């Protein structure tokens, strides 16, 4: 049934996206090119509406039943309205944040929270009152992380699809039918939209799609890994390593340069890869590959013992640091690990054959 739902959501979204494009152009929801944007022509936004419609069709088809069903539906509607208004009239940062807080508050009130963490050696950390702010921070953070990587044709949709494949696969392995159902119908809808959004894009998902995908991924990942072990809690972080890292280092850049956190720039991961000489498609595919690497690492972590998990986490941290330094995500001069490796290799004695 999950496979059928995925196919139906895919077909529905493929068919509905051209209609959404016409609707967006008719009401003036278009994206004009400027110095910060890669596209050179007027593009229709609101593609997220097609993803949302496909998702709702899948929801009606599978009818996943849980105590979280109604809060998720209400919260997702709030985030869709927020994104729609932003695509239409460009909401201020505070009103966008208000919409995100409202949507997050709805699912938190409905019980979507990480209440405790099982520690190694049979320990347990009760989060208490920290449960709500930590859950809120996760939902808002992931929502905006997906929104920030939506800078190239097919980038946010493709990265989200890889993330959803990983989360859905882990949910199926764990026997969590509700999370698997949500992941699969969202995956089908996103892939259907990607047909129209991959370079050269015919339509953009806009904030309607980016906020919706980020919000749903944050909620689904919380449901899939709530009240788990300390290392399992890192699994959704690892799955989302690329958008989360891009967002965190964007904050670091702006703090270092004494700029407002909401100020835009052209130093996100995709901008850095383009400056290195990669083409539009090569940049998108490179980020797909990075996301897939971290997704695979997350699956390995989920199936590993404590000590193997520690090794995997160390490898992931080193990989992220090397990517950040190599592409210049903080700045071109920020390369402490690469400089150390160069000094280390320079000091190694040469071996001569006898």
Mean local confidence (pLDDT), 208-230: 83
Label residue 310 by pLDDT band (50, 70, 90): confident
* Residue with tokens 């496979």, as numbered in its chain: 3
d(CA 265, CA 271): 9
Higher pLDDT, 83 or 351: 83
Mean local confidence (pLDDT), 315-328: 86
Read off the tokens for 61: 């088809």
Label residue 144 by pLDDT band (50, 70, 90): very high
- Residue 216: strand, helix, or coil: helix
Label residue 262 by pLDDT band (50, 70, 90): low
**C-alpha to C-alpha distances, 84 to 98, 145, 207, 354, nearest whole angstrom:** 14, 18, 7, 72
- The answer to whether the CB of 148 falls within 8 A of the CB of 243 is yes
Mean local confidence (pLDDT), 69-77: 96
Task: Give pLDDT, residue 146.
Answer: 93
- The answer to whether the CB of 168 falls within 8 A of the CB of 236 is no
Per-residue pLDDT tens over the stretch 3-58: 999 999 999 999 999 999 999 999 988 887 655 555 557 889 899 999 999 999 99
DSSP notation for 305-343: -HHHHHHHHHHHHHHHHHHHHHHTSS-TT--HHHHHHHH
Mean local confidence (pLDDT), 81-109: 94
Is residue 77's pLDDT more than 80?
yes
- The answer to whether the CB of 282 falls within 8 A of the CB of 155 is no
Q: By mean pLDDT, which of 68-77, 175-184, 189-198, 297-306 is the weakest?
A: 297-306
What percentage of the chain exceeds 70 in pLDDT? 89
- The answer to whether the CB of 170 falls within 8 A of the CB of 184 is no
Is residue 82's pLDDT more than 90?
yes
Helix (H) or strand (E) holding 118: strand 116-119
Per-residue pLDDT tens over the stretch 108-140: 999 888 777 766 666 667 777 888 998 999 999
Task: Give pLDDT, residue 160.
Answer: 95
- Annotated binding-site residue? 197: no
Domain extents in the chain: 2-344
To the nearest whole number, what is the mean pLDDT of the chain?
A: 86
Read off the tokens for 292: 């897939």
Peptide bond into 203 cis (omega under 30): no
d(CA 169, CA 163): 10
Longest dimension (CA), the chain: 78
Task: Give pLDDT, residue 354.
Answer: 44
Is residue 75's pLDDT more than 90?
yes
Is residue 266's pLDDT more than 90?
no
pTM: 0.88
Is residue 231's pLDDT more than 80?
no
- Annotated binding-site residue? 265: no
d(CA 212, CA 76): 7
Mean local confidence (pLDDT), 255-266: 72
* Residue with tokens 């989920």, as numbered in its chain: 302
């Amino acid at each position: 049934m999950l496979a059928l739902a995925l196919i139906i959501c895919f077909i529905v979204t493929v068919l509905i996206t051209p209609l959404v494009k016409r609707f967006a152009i008719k009401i003036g929801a278009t994206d004009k090119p400027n110095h910060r944007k890669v596209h050179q022509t007027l593009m229709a936004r609101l593609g997220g509406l097609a993803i949302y419609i496909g998702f709702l069709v899948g929801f009606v088809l599978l009818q996943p039943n849980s105590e979280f069903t109604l809060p998720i539906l209400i919260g997702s509607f709030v985030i869709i309205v927020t994104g729609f208004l932003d695509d239409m009239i460009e909401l201020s940062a505070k009103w966008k944040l208000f919409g995100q807080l409202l949507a997050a508050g709805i699912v938190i009130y409905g019980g979507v929270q990480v209440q405790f963490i099982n520690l190694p050696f049979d320990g347990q950390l009760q989060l208490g009152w920290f449960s709500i702010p930590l859950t809120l921070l996760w939902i808002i953070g992931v929502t905006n992380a997906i929104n920030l990587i939506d800078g190239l044709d097919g980038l946010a949709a493709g990265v989200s699809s890889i993330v959803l494949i990983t989360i859905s696969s882990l949910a199926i392995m764990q026997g969590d039918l509700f999370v698997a159902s949500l992941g699969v119908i969202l995956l089908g809808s996103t892939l259907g939209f990607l047909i129209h959004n991959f370079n050269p894009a015919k339509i953009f998902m806009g904030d309607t799609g980016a906020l919706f995908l980020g919000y749903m991924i944050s909620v689904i990942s919380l449901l899939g890994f709530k009240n788990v072990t300390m290392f399992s809690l890192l699994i959704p972080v690892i799955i989302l390593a690329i958008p989360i890292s891009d967002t965190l280092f964007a904050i670091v850049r702006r703090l270092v340069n004494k700029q407002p956190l909401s100020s835009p720039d052209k130093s996100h991961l995709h901008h850095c890869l383009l400056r290195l000489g990669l083409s539009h498609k090569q940049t998108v595919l490179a980020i797909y590959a990075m996301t897939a690497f971290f997704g695979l690492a997350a699956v390995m972590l989920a199936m590993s013992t404590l000590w193997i998990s520690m090794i995997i986490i160390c490898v992931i941290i080193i990989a992220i640091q090397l990517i950040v330094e190599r592409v210049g995500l903080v700045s071109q001069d920020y390369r402490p690990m690469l400089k150390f490796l160069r000094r280390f290799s320079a000091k190694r004695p040469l071996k001569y054959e006898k």
